[in-house]
Structure 1
């Protein structure tokens, strides 16, 4: 893996969708910097396997100093090819009962952090081009009771991504979103079995989307095959969004 396609930063890269993206991009020949609060056992094992192609960058992106440190690393990356803003948080409750602290945390991690890191990435990519992929959610396209604040953050992220794409396209930088549907990860473990069954019944396909499905879509958007694709949202949801 000495010759690579460049470096891609993946936030939330230690588990779930982020870990699947990290694996997929390493397989595709990229160097990956996985940003996460903690080094999971799976990521540590992967690092032992691939060696220098994978770097773990510990950071709590809700902390200002950590966010600045990650942005600085992105801005100073000489072979930066891509940024995948995957880190996020979801708290479910009817809006009338949603704690203001939960709203603030979702807005910070799901919107403010990607905006900040995108700014750093664009500065690094301005002369040579690059790819940005922001992980949204099917919640931005379909109504789910109890996810008002979370939905607002993902709608904001998609709107921001479209505007950024228009601003940086002439510099050879593409900006797209991937919107997963229900994905069986740590973020969804609290969902009751009857709710899971109802979600599955909405699928056009007789299968739920997986972290690997999302990861392959991200890889495509980072690849030469997607050079003319920008300001788009790829929904990876087995057709549940209609």
Structure 2
């Protein structure tokens, strides 16, 4: 492993896309702080194998106290290079039947948490620059029945990212989004087979995007190669977004 490039916080960094991002960043030499409610066995095994470069912070980011604790760690991180706001939740229902509790939770975790943690990260990055990458969704660019509230949260996050990029760019801080298409993870496991097939038929490529594809895209936006890229959305969807 190469010399550490700085520290990157990854929310939801212990499973799915977040775990793939954690692995990729460790591979290229970043120190990673994975923030999540739990540390599943696959993450625990990774942590044991890599040692010090990987830290785990147990936090339920919908809890005000836990969110504040993570924000404080971000502000106090002397070598903070990046924040990847990956933690999120999705709930599918026609809007007329959507539960208010589901809508509230999606808004809180998918929008309020990234906004709060980005504010803390920017304060730590103000003197030396840094990178923020927000994980959004192809749902912000395509219409899917039953995903109204989820789509609203991802559109909001992309809009926030553009404005934040304009506000902090003079400080050498970039803010970008990665918008995955349909990715086979635990979050998408409940999608009906018919909808899954319909989504995949939209692909321009003869393969679906994977968590590894998303992870490499995030790593690119954190790298020196993306130094002049900000306020952008990188869609990783095998062309299904058109």
User: TM-score normalised by the shorter chain: which range applies?
Assistant: over 0.9
1:198, distance to aligned residue in structure 2 (A):
1.2
- What residue in structure 2 maps to residue 8 of structure 1? 8
Q: Greater shift after overlay, 27-36 or 195-204? A: 195-204
Matches within 5 A, 1:1-80: 1=1, 3-80=3-80
- What residue in structure 1 maps to residue 114 of structure 2? 114
1:200, distance to aligned residue in structure 2 (A):
1.0
- TM-score computed with the length of structure 2 as normaliser: 0.99
1:195, distance to aligned residue in structure 2 (A):
1.7
- What residue in structure 2 maps to residue 200 of structure 1? 200
Tell me, in whole angstroms, the C-alpha distance in 1 between the residues paired with 2:210 and 2:69.
31
- What residue in structure 2 maps to residue 137 of structure 1? 137
- What residue in structure 1 maps to residue 235 of structure 2? 235
- What residue in structure 2 maps to residue 97 of structure 1? 97
Is the aligned partner of 1:183 residue 2:183?
yes
For the 8 Å contact 2:77–2:124, the answer to whether it is kept is yes
Tell me, in whole angstroms, the C-alpha distance in 1 between the residues paired with 2:117 and 2:168.
15
Tell me, in whole angstroms, the C-alpha distance in 2 between the residues paired with 1:137 and 1:105.
17
Q: Which runs of 5+ in 1 are unaligned?
A: none
For residue 52 of structure 1, give the secondary structure of its aligned residue in structure 2: coil
1:193, distance to aligned residue in structure 2 (A):
1.7
For residue 241 of structure 2, give the secondary structure of its aligned residue in structure 1: coil
For residue 57 of structure 2, give the secondary structure of its aligned residue in structure 1: strand
Tell me, in whole angstroms, the C-alpha distance in 2 between the residues paired with 1:115 and 1:178.
16
1:3, distance to aligned residue in structure 2 (A):
2.6
Cα deviation per residue 1:168-227 (whole Å; 9 max; x = unaligned)?
A: 000000000000000000001011222211111100000000000000000000000000
Tell me, in whole angstroms, the C-alpha distance in 2 between the residues paired with 1:2 and 1:239.
34
- What residue in structure 2 maps to residue 225 of structure 1? 225
Q: Which runs of 5+ in 2 are unaligned?
A: none
1:166, distance to aligned residue in structure 2 (A):
0.1
Tell me, in whole angstroms, the C-alpha distance in 1 between the residues paired with 2:136 and 2:197.
23
